[in-house]
Amino acid sequence: MKLLKKIFAGSFLIIGLAILLLGTMELIDSNKSKEDKEGALAAIVVFGIPSTTIGTWIIWSLHQQHQQKLKQFQLEREQLFLRLLQQEEGRVTITKFALFAQISIEEAKQYLDEKAKQLNANFETSDQEGIIYKFPE
């Protein structure tokens, strides 16, 4: 469905912008007759503006959906992080968080580094577990 929306949005925008461009060129051409200019203006108003508006609206709605999903994803990750913190009594490793949140090691490290700065966490290193983030309770 999302791919179909993207195709429709692109089609509407391409058609609408082409009509707007061609119509504008007709309007500013001093060699065109009054009837040609009126036809160009009608094409802009009837086809160009609505088509461009519909394409833009579809793109905007897709963007809004993406932003909403991103916020939901961030909220879920935050909840997973807090749940793991509670279970592990404030001591979290990159591997545990990556497994718990089902994300890559790189994403887990980046997220924990950001949270460590934000929450003033301390670090410990262990031969067995690697870096242990110690968050205040």
Please tell me whether residue 102 adopts helix, strand or coil conformation: coil
List pLDDT tens digits, range 45-62: 999 999 999 999 999 999
Q: State how far the Cα of 19 lies from the Cα of 46, in Å rounded to an integer.
A: 10
Q: Which ranges constitute the DSSP H helices of 2-136?
A: 2-28, 34-43, 49-87, 94-101, 105-119
Mean pLDDT of the chain: 93
CA distances to 110, 114, 117, 128 from 133, rounded to whole Å, are 12, 11, 11, 14
Which segment, 18-22, 99-103, 119-123, is predicted with the most confidence on average? 18-22
This prediction's pTM:
0.69
Q: What is the pLDDT of residue 40?
A: 94
- pLDDT above 90: residue 130: no
